[in-house]
Structure 1
Amino acid sequence: MSQQHNGRSLGHQARKRFGQNFLQDTGIISRIVRAVRPSGHDRLVEIGPGMGAITEQLLAQNEGALDVIELDRDLIPGLRVKFFNYPDFKIHEADALKFDFNQLKIDERPLRIVGNLPYNISTPLIFHLLAQSCVADMHFMLQKEVVHRLAAHPGGGEWGRLSVMAQYFCQVECLFEVPPECFIPRPKVDSAIVRLTPYETPPYPADDLKMLDDTVRRSFAQRRKTLRNNLKGLVEADDLQRLEIDPQRRPETLSLEEFVRISNWRSQE
């Protein structure tokens, strides 16, 4: 356990604007790395290495090869010193939301991405990564509620736009939860580890991704209202019935396949 006091770790003050909460629990760190299972020659990328707690074990398991993306420039000198003896350890000072991850794919190996993500950027960052064609899988620490929404099933209150769009692109697995006391400073929320594995081919291909996103967004605009009301003027009740979807259903009862069915019908109009 490293030195800590009032949100400090190794002399670094965690910054609220970067959403920093440094993972300190060695048991949880080992469990995350076991979930990733580096093969020893993966193209591993860590987003937000912080003080290097997960970084150290990833390097040990992957023969010293790792790219990290870090926005806080004050953390970078410490990372350089800590891992100076790893020639294949590379630091990219950048905002992960704007970073082109395709530039890290230097051969046929796809990227395997790991990160303890700030809660305020987790959703847009996941979709930024899903838009890249070079990702094999992603293991992220996120707010527990976000993980539960990502992995939700139709019929429950957690099933929504995030669930549908994430599961269109990838298989989602909630692996395990992480309590606040594992971090410095302690966050006010529980966390969880999620594994996202992009599909080579989506199980239900959409003719137009923007149309699918628009269909899902409008369907969930008012969750308590029926599809007939939420899609009024876009898809009529008769059309939904032709698609074998009851217009009186609420959006949280629809499956991914049914949302794609409606979207593809709209694309053909």
Structure 2
Amino acid sequence: MSNKPAGHKARKRFGQNFLQDQGIIRRIVRAIAPGETQHLIEIGPGLGAITEELLDLCQRLDVVELDRDLIPILRTKFFSYAEKFTIHEGDALKFDFSSLQQQDEQLRVVGNLPYNISTPLIFHLLSFADQIEDMHFMLQKEVVDRLAAQPGESAYGRLGIMAQYYCHVEPLFLVPPHAFDPAPKVDSAIVRLIPYKELPHPAKDIDKLAIVVRTAFGQRRKTLRNNLKPLLSGDEIEALGIDPGLRPERLALTDFIQISDYLSSKQL
């Protein structure tokens, strides 16, 4: 926020850029629309710009923060919310988000995610998809483009395919560099991920699907025949009704599921 404590500088190693534009903060909170009976989790609250708004609107808020120097600042700032505000010092990449779930409640996750951990953190959170109602993230626009990309688009790849397997992906709006301190060199964007209650295209083996997608995009410029050679032959790909001469970005999610289901059946 604009009332940044003296002496605390954003740390490059944590990828910190503190949100300070009040108009953007309010717009993000409106998009999240916290409910007074809901349990929210904020990843990387920083100096609490969004935290403050969320606390006034939800029943319970847990935050996960890696920078230990920020924790006393947050504790002091939100001491009056002690009954519904809990800080967890730790790395969100290793955090067990299911440990925060009470009974059968669905968690709502929000966060301004640093570029250097955004992709692995989203993959980590997808492993808790059945316990999460929705996720709202501020990310570099490039990452949001990848999450929402469709077959044939340059941004289409492993991240978007696996995110869209688990979730409906909805880009919301752009956030300009001047909304932050320090200002990043790129545009950011807000995205909403809503995990499906029932997967529209369930794979027989999700681990197998992840391997197929990762292997297919190992070298983007090469064809499926070349990239998937460790898993199956060009003739086998063709027998599935898929052209082995295509590059991986031409395939839909359902095509990758078809390949992974074939491999699962082959190994039974």
Tell me, in whole angstroms, the C-alpha distance in 1 between the residues paired with 2:230 and 2:94: 36
Tell me, in whole angstroms, the C-alpha distance in 2 between the residues paired with 1:186 and 1:50: 15
Residue of structure 2 equivalent to 1:227:
224
> Is 1:66 matched up with 2:64?
no
> Is 1:91 matched up with 2:87?
yes
How many residues align structurally?
Answer: 263
Asked if the contact 1:67–1:92 (Cα under 8 Å) also holds between the matched residues in 2, the reply is yes
How far residue 24 of structure 1 moved from its aligned partner, in angstroms, is: 0.2
Aligned-partner SS, 1:49: coil
Tell me, in whole angstroms, the C-alpha distance in 1 between the residues paired with 2:93 and 2:116: 11
Asked if the contact 1:2–1:10 (Cα under 8 Å) also holds between the matched residues in 2, the reply is no
Deviation per CA, 1:40-81, whole angstroms, max 9, x where unpaired? Answer: 111111111111110011111215x21111111111111111
| Aligned sequence identity (%) | 63
Structure-2 change in CA distance of 1:246 and 1:73 (3 Å): same
Q: What is the root-mean-square deviation in Å for CA atoms of aligned residues? A: 1.3
Q: Which amino acid aligns with 1:81?
A: T
Tell me, in whole angstroms, the C-alpha distance in 2 between the residues paired with 1:141 and 1:214: 28
Asked if the contact 1:97–1:125 (Cα under 8 Å) also holds between the matched residues in 2, the reply is yes
Q: Which amino acid aligns with 2:44?
A: G
Deviation per CA, 1:131-159, whole angstroms, max 9, x where unpaired? Answer: 12421111000111011000000011111
Tell me, in whole angstroms, the C-alpha distance in 2 between the residues paired with 1:108 and 1:223: 41
> Is 1:104 matched up with 2:97?
no
> Is 1:157 matched up with 2:151?
no
Deviation per CA, 1:220-269, whole angstroms, max 9, x where unpaired? Answer: 12222221222225222222222111112111110000000011111111
Using the size of structure 2 for normalisation, the TM-score is 0.94
Say which of 218, 234, 237 aligns to 2:234: 237
Q: Which amino acid aligns with 2:2?
A: S
Q: Which amino acid aligns with 1:97?
A: L
The equivalences for 1:1-269 within 5 A come to 2-3=2-3, 9-11=4-6, 12-63=8-59, 65-86=60-81, 87-132=83-128, 133-269=130-266
How far residue 2 of structure 1 moved from its aligned partner, in angstroms, is: 2.3
- Spell out structure 1 runs of 4+ moving beyond 6 A: none
Moved more, 164-173 or 236-245: 236-245
Moved more, 140-149 or 89-98: 89-98
Structure 1's unaligned 5+ residue stretches are 4-8
Deviation per CA, 1:149-175, whole angstroms, max 9, x where unpaired? Answer: 000000111111111111111111111
Tell me, in whole angstroms, the C-alpha distance in 1 between the residues paired with 2:246 and 2:25: 43
Tell me, in whole angstroms, the C-alpha distance in 2 between the residues paired with 1:233 and 1:177: 40
